[in-house]
Amino acid sequence: MSAFLMITYAISDPERYADYNPGSLSEIVPTLAKYGGEVVMGGPSEALTGTPEHTAVGIKFPDAESARAWLDDDDYAPLKAIRFESTTNITEYLVPGRD
């Protein structure tokens, strides 16, 4: 069953974050492809209720195991470190798809 990795965060260091997005997109996309991942949404978000973080990203994977494998991928690790260094209030969660 497909799974969506949802990631929300606030950008705390825009200069450093630029090294991740858009700076590393050409490196991130191939790491996603190894696991069948595809970014299906992303960017600044508008809170309609509650207080979600400014940025939200949704990545579709063939299954939850592929999403977890991508998060732990050695090639993605240095890029993920940039994301964690330049953002706060990061939440990563899996949502099952409806196949």
Asked if 40 and 58 touch (Cβ cutoff 8 Å), the reply is: yes
| DSSP type of residue 76 | T
- Full-model pTM: 0.90
Read off the amino acid at residue 94.
L
Q: Determine the topology of domain 3-96 in CATH.
A: Alpha-Beta Plaits (3.30.70)
Residues 6+ apart with CB under 8 A from 97: 1, 2, 3, 4, 60
Domain boundaries, the chain: 3-96
pLDDT tens digits for 43-89? 888 888 887 778 999 999 999 999 999 999 999 999 999 999 999 99
pLDDT tens digits for 16-34? 999 999 889 899 999 999 9
